[in-house]
Structure 1
């Protein structure tokens, strides 16, 4: 191919480049969508618990459905209640099922598009481009390798995050509920073939299915020539030119880690290499895995090759040397030494005043080497000591891991401290370099001007015109200095190489003139020369500030492999924050370092100008911000722990001081001990606030994290967690208790809520938040959400958590396992009220606003009940009860109607009796002659309907009575 067509493979007018770029961009977006959706799998499709199996077992099918759909549907149609449940299930799940189906469909479409692109290349659709020429182009070979690798990652992610059985059930449900079954062009069959269960389970200790994942990878045939050429490229080239960022040979495997991960995935498309091709496997292991065997394949998904390559003879044999215990020992000991050395080095650099501009500019190689050593050591230790990388049931893996822990003298706290220091060091260096780069030209021009002016002034001194003590006129020197001044002024910033060479020559000339002309004797002349030399030195330093340094730092500082592993350090982070809240500032740099992991999936999406950019950035940034919130939640948690102690002291220990008291009683009221304790705890709370606010507003990915907002959200989250738990535990009633536990429990709950409320009021000034506003917003949210969940029982189309306006991802309201037929505390409260005011056992006297026991005539409860609920749950609680009772009334009326249709409208005998009665009592205004006989005859014939009739009327009536009482309380 002519060089011009390949000059810029990614140019907008290069159709061949744009087509493969779009495919790769799409691949990264699909993986993000799969990861996002995997958190929203409706639990019912897992059929984990007994209740789900009994209720939905007959309407949720796996792929066995396709063997005889008529039989399955026939069973459903035979039972009207099953059909009804099926329809309700469809209404509630079709939206999320469609979203999953579209994601699955996009995976299939992806591989179809890639195969079509390869066919087009083969058939010469793209002028002068073939598979060979694209693979010769730097961007071309990167994109082709990425395209196949991303397809492999998609399949692995699907299997890891969405179990095979669950996928099958979702696909069958989608097929049954959607219009896809009738549309002729639907490729549902192909999608089902690609995504049918593989037998793989991500549960720890689960056995790996035979020929997995190669048989899964071969479900859609892909050009063998393409696979072998891609593997060839990955084996031989450094496709991302990473080695230049890691000049040392011992860093080679880290430099090639991205490529190694791609090769690992792509080898499953050609398993014969793994099984039988000893020489190739030997070469691959020598190049990529001589000193490492735990790798990260995509956004922190880790794989241990010792386990993954166990079933493949050639791969296992080739890896044996790497896994030899003497090699493991050598690597682990090497990293123990490196860690020890770089820890002290980084701590030295981070000392106040050490990283000054001149020191940084004079020591760029040394600083970069230190950064490389730190990052390589952190990477190796984090990956190879990770719990996820070692199956505890595998004796060999356990042995290797124990060996590493011993020989590397592994200590998770020390490793975490090194990560913190490295991130801080990188952050400071990057900020300095960005600053220096932005000021580079201005500073260089300034130094040039200063140096040139000094030379002009010296020329004037030797002209004899300027009086400078004891300097004789010297025309030669005057002319020479003028020439030097001109030379300095002629230096050109844009031609940095020539300017650098010339500056070095000028410095040498100035040193020589000082020696040859015995100018040392005159201090002022010496000073002028020294100053000029200093400015010229600064010019060399400044011209050496290159963007390459920042790029190298970005490559070396990659932390994408820890996207998931970082979670194992959460407890250490939280403990450090609890001990010293100012630690948050150091963590900020670590979070920013982790945010650089977003560059990997976003690079191609950005290059392709894809509209997916926003949603993918939003997803990964959101994940990271959630993690930041999780770590920093320790601050509100610790605050609340202190708060509870303060409440206890204020309510139980500290006596209220009266407005007037005797002087001699002052000591009794002083209570210095408890008051000191309160002051100490309050101080601790304000220190925590200070700690989080020191973090400054930070851009994490594309989400702006404001520490003040983080703190407020954290406090809200902790409040919601504690109040929801208190309500759940406090409002559980024993139906057999005599008398009812209702009033005592409501009183107790009111005291608990009052405690929370008072403490919140107390804390607001110390953490600078609107306590009352937050309290009202969150308590109303908790109650409204619980009412919504309780009312879901009466709704056909239920409100899922992700649809609820009261539920939130950042400040989630916890869900608890139901303890009886009610879903939440609000249901339990409502049913307890209904139980004790049941008209079968109580009688309501309107004038007294009181319920009495029918047998004993004792008071059961009165309108105080509603003021007690108001004290405990506020207006929102009464409102919620009102809503729930209205739902119950509607449900009861529906039951009544269905009973009416079944027992009256369809029963011939009852119909005839009622018609006869109607004619006997007509006209209605008249008086019936023998009424007793007429009515008793009618009642006797319709005996069976009145019990249910009475039940319904009483239920509706006493629910309505409660609603009226609530309304009058409100």
Structure 2
């Protein structure tokens, strides 16, 4: 419905009549309230639709039920639920209350305004009928009442009773602007009531109101009774089952019951209805000269009348009046817009009103509807053919528009009328009527796609015509002057020609023709295009005179003169065409091209639009005209708000602009999908530069041209350029109208689409539970190929559509990696919490990983399991019993090339977390093992062995006794330590790979970080001391230093500068006898190994060991590292004590062990190798090691 002046799109419209300023304010407020209502209806909190909150949400019937209130206050769960509701929805409930209070206040003020107007009119009528009854009011000296002066006074001042009489109804209805504003102030309130019921149903309104009143304790709020009346639930709307309707279709039964609660003065309402029945309120009929288009021309006025009838039911129950209304407004339509794109179906809405429904029966006749549908469907086909012929390149030019403006305007008008009827009536709520319309379209092959195509092509023609017409209007004066000067000069030349003064013209000398052409030239020069009527009549006379003179013998026999006269007439015709250019045509164009009624239709059929764009990408170049066709969505609601200079202009504008932009962006959301579909084409994505030899034979030259590949690449680039060009046109078209930053939007949606596709593809790299190294490496290589192909794709996007493609690829890849790590972490924690059995981390924990990073971690843990693999330090890899490599440096090289430094860091963070979990588990296991009996045994052993630097008197027997005691019982702790060592070794390899990769790819960063970390490490103690001294004064500096150190540590981890074996993961109290426990456990494990001098490690006697040696030793060291360093020192000393004791027991002396007598399976050699290996990895000082091992034995091992 067009609530505006005659020309709502004119930016320089004068303000309305000052006498109607109050009504203008009402209209402005109503538009603001409607925008707030629509905004809130789109943001309804989900809590009010969640059944869990039903116990604390009440309607008006139970609002003050003491039983329910007592039930909430006595239930902690319900009180918590109510607190959650208050915290999450308090702001929305407050805004809703302000809205309904504003609606009630609007009605009260408007009612008072109109009621005062009605009282004044009644008073004046009585004054006219009984003049002497009020003779004390106004008398002249002559003693009689001056009625005219009385009426004038009552129209300009206020009487003593305070009756506001500034605007009388008669004066308002005589003024075009006044009657529009009065009608709109009433109709907009009716729209408010209907939209409030439509967008926020009665049950929801009651819950919102009661919740707000209870939470804010505003039981004595003013107008609360009226607000409750407004929010009270209306009778439920029963829509037939299976009916599909647009969300903009307002379906309310018996709207008069809503309106009855908020009436207006009957005299004013009846006056407005009578004026609506008879007048053309918005002067629209002049834009639709065809009588068949009357219902479209009066569509906005019909919507006003539909709403006003519910304020006065006398009319709606009057058969004569309703037949007149239907014949004038609804003769061939029953689905009508009432506000913007919101519509009503009269066949449903008038069901409860027998007289009105009977009057409508002639318009609902199946045969009549079938004939109408067929008529418009046939027109659609004709229109499409005509539009196709006009939209060809080079057809629509300035000259063509100048010559055919009226026929083009008529074509645009007819297209829009057919679109208007078909689009609205295909959404009828009545199933039978809707099927008649749709079946007629099916028979004539006019489906949604064809309607959408007509809408698109019509909008394209409208845009071109409007642009050319604006150019013609701007150049009107120049065109007039140019044509006038040329015609005048030609006439002067003819005058000189008949003067006989020119060469070869002496034979045709004619004084009368000479004077006639001279006078005609002067007359043409005197014409002024501002005086349209006079200039037009004179031009017609001049053209007629020129046509008559062509029949003269002197002219008819001279072809040169006839040609010159023809040219003069052409220029005079151009002057006439210039005179026909008016701003009124542009306004008529804006009126007939308005398609805001189809706003919801476009939203429902966006999938069809997507298919059409995919089928023909050139449509992208015309989408801007399609969007501009709905520009009135932005203009119409703001007209009265702007004229009123309201402070709400910004908020109202922001709402409708945001809705407009969101719909545009929703339609354009297909752009990144199409973009990636084009670029992911096999030919394009696999296109590689062909290596050219130094010399090419002529016969093979064509093989190097790659014609097919180049053709597909050129085609893809062309398609992308079309998309890019279309987006640029859209951005330019809406510049200054709405905030539509296409560049940032495109980058955002490309990022979202790329991230979604990338994540989905990466997580699709599923691996079977038990793959070998070759298959695992092949999968990683395949993944690497895909990752790099996506990088190339985004770099191509960067070149073609000017977005930060490389940056997007890098940021999204890193985001995916970190998200995968976080998801695996959370999933592992959740499983641990649900698993009642406490056990160390196993590879099976990630067997059902949901992300590719989790699957990779599962395979790495499985292949490096210490119970079925052996880590060989010189090879930096894991091998099986037959010597086949299970995992090594090559795999980590491939992994780094696939997931990059950040991916390796994410893997490292997962490993760190698993180490921490295992350390806490191992500590719990050890504490459980150290019962009172075990502690007593350890205390006895400690007394028997004495100080670590001495030799026990009992020799090795105490060791053997204790080792036998814990051999089986302590196996869970041993297994857990081995898994810790496995994870530490994996971290070590990852750090090593990160360091080497960083030095190659980012050498400057690597050296800078390394130097900074070395400098801080060397001055660590001084820094800590200074920080402690200055802490009381420089707390902010401490925080800054702490943040800096955290970031430096994080960067150091990425660069591989991570001391894996020195890391402290947990901060718990150590168990008793920790050093002695670790040493006894180590000694108990020695019997399972034999020293392999070839491999340089301890291996199983039968090449089949339960737990690998290397992770075992590293696991023990890592466990000890979590506590004070004295425990590590104790462990080394205790193992050294055992070595010396075993040496004395085996050789009788500590300083002369015989090389030849040392058996690789001897405990002396194995324990010494164990200790050396431990000290090497855990960073134990050489002095401590030398003090614990006999020098000859140490020298023997080093050789």
Q: Which TM class, normalised by the smaller chain length?
A: 0.7 to 0.9
Q: Secondary structure of the equivalent of 2:286?
A: helix
Q: CA offsets per residue over residues 679-700 of structure 1, 9 Å max, x none?
A: 6665454233222233213434
Give the counterpart of 1:114 among 110, 115, 120.
110
Check the 8 A contact 1:649/1:678 in 2, yes or no: no
Distance 2:392 2:865 in 1: 79
Q: How many correspondences in the alignment? A: 818
Distance 1:540 1:405 in 2: 43
Deviation at 1:194, TM superposition (A): 0.4
Give the counterpart of 1:390 among 410, 414, 429.
429
- 2:371 paired with 1:333: no
The aligned residue for residue 152 of structure 1 is 190
Distance 1:637 1:685 in 2: 14
Question: Would the alpha carbon gap of residues 74 and 746 (structure 1) be closer, same or farther in structure 2, given more than 3 Å must change?
Answer: farther
Check the 8 A contact 1:332/1:407 in 2, yes or no: no
Q: CA offsets per residue over residues 177-208 of structure 1, 9 Å max, x none?
A: 3xx53485544443232023325469884999
Check the 8 A contact 1:59/1:76 in 2, yes or no: no
- 2:322 paired with 1:288: no
Question: Would the alpha carbon gap of residues 218 and 875 (structure 1) be closer, same or farther in structure 2, given more than 3 Å must change?
Answer: farther
Check the 8 A contact 1:491/1:499 in 2, yes or no: yes
Deviation at 1:578, TM superposition (A): 1.1
Question: Would the alpha carbon gap of residues 13 and 214 (structure 1) be closer, same or farther in structure 2, given more than 3 Å must change?
Answer: closer
Question: Would the alpha carbon gap of residues 444 and 69 (structure 1) be closer, same or farther in structure 2, given more than 3 Å must change?
Answer: farther
Deviation at 1:874, TM superposition (A): 7.9
Check the 8 A contact 1:65/1:72 in 2, yes or no: no
Deviation at 1:439, TM superposition (A): 0.8
The aligned residue for residue 712 of structure 1 is 747
The aligned residue for residue 262 of structure 1 is 304
**More divergent stretch after superposition (560-569 vs 626-635):** 626-635
Q: Secondary structure of the equivalent of 1:322?
A: helix
Give the counterpart of 1:253 among 263, 272, 295.
295
Deviation at 1:73, TM superposition (A): 5.8
Q: Secondary structure of the equivalent of 1:611?
A: coil
Q: CA offsets per residue over residues 670-729 of structure 1, 9 Å max, x none?
A: 999xx98876665454233222233213434822656655543442232244356568x7
The aligned residue for residue 214 of structure 1 is 256
**More divergent stretch after superposition (699-708 vs 542-551):** 699-708
Deviation at 1:334, TM superposition (A): 1.9
Question: Would the alpha carbon gap of residues 126 and 882 (structure 1) be closer, same or farther in structure 2, given more than 3 Å must change?
Answer: farther
Question: Would the alpha carbon gap of residues 590 and 327 (structure 1) be closer, same or farther in structure 2, given more than 3 Å must change?
Answer: same
Check the 8 A contact 1:731/1:828 in 2, yes or no: no
Deviation at 1:309, TM superposition (A): 1.8
Q: Secondary structure of the equivalent of 2:637?
A: helix
Q: Secondary structure of the equivalent of 1:266?
A: helix
Give the counterpart of 1:372 among 409, 413, 417.
413
Deviation at 1:251, TM superposition (A): 0.9
The aligned residue for residue 809 of structure 2 is 775
Give the counterpart of 2:665 among 629, 641, 645.
629
Distance 2:388 2:560 in 1: 41
Distance 2:195 2:603 in 1: 19
Check the 8 A contact 2:821/2:907 in 1, yes or no: no
Deviation at 1:142, TM superposition (A): 1.6
Deviation at 1:14, TM superposition (A): 4.8
Structure 1 gap segments, 5+ residues each: 1-9, 48-52, 788-823, 890-957
Deviation at 1:28, TM superposition (A): 2.1
Give the counterpart of 2:794 among 736, 747, 760.
760
Deviation at 1:330, TM superposition (A): 1.9
The aligned residue for residue 21 of structure 1 is 24
Check the 8 A contact 2:498/2:505 in 1, yes or no: no
Question: Would the alpha carbon gap of residues 334 and 831 (structure 1) be closer, same or farther in structure 2, given more than 3 Å must change?
Answer: closer
Structure 2 gap segments, 5+ residues each: 1-12, 121-162, 244-249, 844-859, 872-877, 879-886, 917-982, 988-1045, 1056-1199
Give the counterpart of 1:467 among 484, 489, 503.
503
Check the 8 A contact 2:621/2:725 in 1, yes or no: yes
Q: CA offsets per residue over residues 888-931 of structure 1, 9 Å max, x none?
A: x9xxxxxxxxxxxxxxxxxxxxxxxxxxxxxxxxxxxxxxxxxx
Give the counterpart of 2:481 among 445, 466, 469.
445
Question: Would the alpha carbon gap of residues 659 and 686 (structure 1) be closer, same or farther in structure 2, given more than 3 Å must change?
Answer: closer
- 2:594 paired with 1:563: no
Q: Secondary structure of the equivalent of 1:297?
A: strand
- 2:60 paired with 1:60: no
**More divergent stretch after superposition (419-428 vs 156-165):** 156-165
Deviation at 1:501, TM superposition (A): 0.7
The aligned residue for residue 422 of structure 1 is 458
Distance 1:781 1:163 in 2: 42
Matches within 5 A, 1:587-602: 587-602=623-638
Structure index of larger Rg: 2
The aligned residue for residue 94 of structure 2 is 98
Check the 8 A contact 2:550/2:562 in 1, yes or no: yes
- 2:22 paired with 1:39: no
Distance 1:272 1:540 in 2: 53
Matches within 5 A, 1:571-970: 571-646=607-682, 650=686, 682-695=713-726, 696=729, 697-700=731-734, 702-703=737-738, 705=740, 711-723=746-758, 756-757=790-791, 759-777=793-811, 826-827=822-823, 829-832=825-828, 835=831, 841=840, 968=1053
Distance 2:603 2:29 in 1: 28
Deviation at 1:559, TM superposition (A): 0.5
Question: Would the alpha carbon gap of residues 831 and 366 (structure 1) be closer, same or farther in structure 2, given more than 3 Å must change?
Answer: closer
Q: CA offsets per residue over residues 919-947 of structure 1, 9 Å max, x none?
A: xxxxxxxxxxxxxxxxxxxxxxxxxxxxx
Q: CA offsets per residue over residues 135-166 of structure 1, 9 Å max, x none?
A: 23212222222222222222222222223333
Check the 8 A contact 2:397/2:468 in 1, yes or no: no
Check the 8 A contact 2:683/2:712 in 1, yes or no: no
The aligned residue for residue 801 of structure 1 is none
Check the 8 A contact 1:557/1:593 in 2, yes or no: yes
Distance 1:146 1:284 in 2: 19
Deviation at 1:429, TM superposition (A): 1.5
Q: CA offsets per residue over residues 468-496 of structure 1, 9 Å max, x none?
A: 44444443333333222221222122211
Q: Secondary structure of the equivalent of 1:63?
A: coil
Q: CA offsets per residue over residues 581-607 of structure 1, 9 Å max, x none?
A: 111123322221122343322222232
Distance 2:217 2:409 in 1: 60
Check the 8 A contact 1:148/1:266 in 2, yes or no: yes
- 2:264 paired with 1:227: no
Q: CA offsets per residue over residues 570-589 of structure 1, 9 Å max, x none?
A: 22322222122111123322
Distance 2:520 2:95 in 1: 73
Deviation at 1:377, TM superposition (A): 1.0
Q: Secondary structure of the equivalent of 2:233?
A: coil
Q: CA offsets per residue over residues 1-46 of structure 1, 9 Å max, x none?
A: xxxxxxxxx9759554111112112222322222222222121210
**More divergent stretch after superposition (200-209 vs 102-111):** 200-209
Distance 1:245 1:342 in 2: 20
Question: Would the alpha carbon gap of residues 515 and 296 (structure 1) be closer, same or farther in structure 2, given more than 3 Å must change?
Answer: same
Check the 8 A contact 2:237/2:252 in 1, yes or no: no
Q: Secondary structure of the equivalent of 1:446?
A: helix
Q: CA offsets per residue over residues 750-795 of structure 1, 9 Å max, x none?
A: 98766644543454334443212223455677899xx8xxxxxxxx
Give the alignment's TM-score, normalised by structure 1.
0.73
Q: Secondary structure of the equivalent of 2:653?
A: helix
Give the alignment's TM-score, normalised by structure 2.
0.60
Question: Would the alpha carbon gap of residues 308 and 873 (structure 1) be closer, same or farther in structure 2, given more than 3 Å must change?
Answer: farther
Deviation at 1:423, TM superposition (A): 1.6
Question: Would the alpha carbon gap of residues 11 and 69 (structure 1) be closer, same or farther in structure 2, given more than 3 Å must change?
Answer: farther
Deviation at 1:83, TM superposition (A): 3.6
Check the 8 A contact 1:390/1:398 in 2, yes or no: yes
- 2:344 paired with 1:303: yes
Question: Would the alpha carbon gap of residues 881 and 430 (structure 1) be closer, same or farther in structure 2, given more than 3 Å must change?
Answer: farther
Distance 2:449 2:610 in 1: 12
Distance 1:159 1:783 in 2: 48
- 2:538 paired with 1:499: no
